[in-house]
Structure 1
């Protein structure tokens, strides 16, 4: 299995189905990493599961602080193994304000070296610059905690 990409290396490309809430409607389409090239920083948030306690707390915190991230020019994408129907219920229930992508066969988690056989994936965050180069990462061993918005904002500010 591949190891997680190191800082200074190109992030593995991918295309996944995803959705984004627009009011009360979930807009579904395919998200391609390569389409983000040339934009601002991108925060890829790999989380184990919709509606689990730590994941819910993490994604709700990132939603509450989304203006901090966008103020630093960044976009946030959440990625987990659940399908779009699960993501849609989760997004509506907690008003998640950034795209949730469905990596149902864990192809992207495997490419990023964070898949755990039989368990899903390791809670991880990768910050990419506009050229899709990894600038910072955190891969959790157990995933019982998460990187808070302050830490992510601090790392994004360094890309300034």
Structure 2
């Protein structure tokens, strides 16, 4: 029974998962401090996911400048994430969502009913979802779009 998908304007559901370094990550710990770019991806080390992760890596400084933390989630094991991080020098958090509980908490759709989808959420400092980008076939667009959304968010806050 999958939950209704999380949409723009919804509060991002809190969760706790194990990071690639074995520690725990809780979404609520970043509330009030950082915007969060939460991206669900199908699998470590596959071509599209590697491209996407490396693009997040290459733009990581830009995300930091925008006051954002990047968090990748897949069902891969912590060991798989460690390898993925090491091989590609990924500077951000990778979370192991064994059994896909968090994926279903967010209502991330499956492609063809079997493949875990590729969806990125931009969550503001208040924990509200500001943007949802769902595209299996455009891994790099996720990164570009997330940056644009953050830039706009930060502009709005400067004028507020």
TM-score (norm 2): 0.89
Taking only aligned residues, the RMSD between alpha carbons, in angstroms, comes to: 1.4
Query: Which of the residues 90, 97, 102 maps onto 2:96?
Result: 102
The match for 1:69 is 63
1:29-62 superposed Cα distances (whole Å, 9 cap, x missing partner): 0101111111121000111000000000000011
1:2-33 superposed Cα distances (whole Å, 9 cap, x missing partner): 122111110111100012xxxxxxx3201011
After superposing on structure 2, the runs of 4+ consecutive aligned residues of structure 1 that deviate more than 6 Å are: none
Q: How far did residue 118 of structure 1 move? A: 6.3
Which ranges of structure 2 fall in alignment gaps of 5 or more residues? 155-160
Change (3 A) 1:148 1:112: closer
Query: Which of the residues 83, 106, 117 maps onto 1:112?
Result: 106
C-alpha contact 2:120 2:142 (8 A) present in aligned 1? no
Distance 1:106 1:149 in 2: 23
> Which SS does the other structure have where 1:28 is aligned?
coil
The match for 1:155 is 149
Distance 1:97 1:8 in 2: 29
C-alpha contact 2:8 2:132 (8 A) present in aligned 1? yes
Number of residues of Structure 1 aligned to a counterpart in Structure 2: 151
Q: More helix by proportion, 1 or 2?
A: 2
Query: Which of the residues 19, 28, 43 maps onto 2:22?
Result: 28
Distance 2:75 2:144 in 1: 26
The match for 2:132 is 137
1:69-123 superposed Cα distances (whole Å, 9 cap, x missing partner): 1001111000000010000011101111101000011000001111539624210
Distance 1:138 1:151 in 2: 8
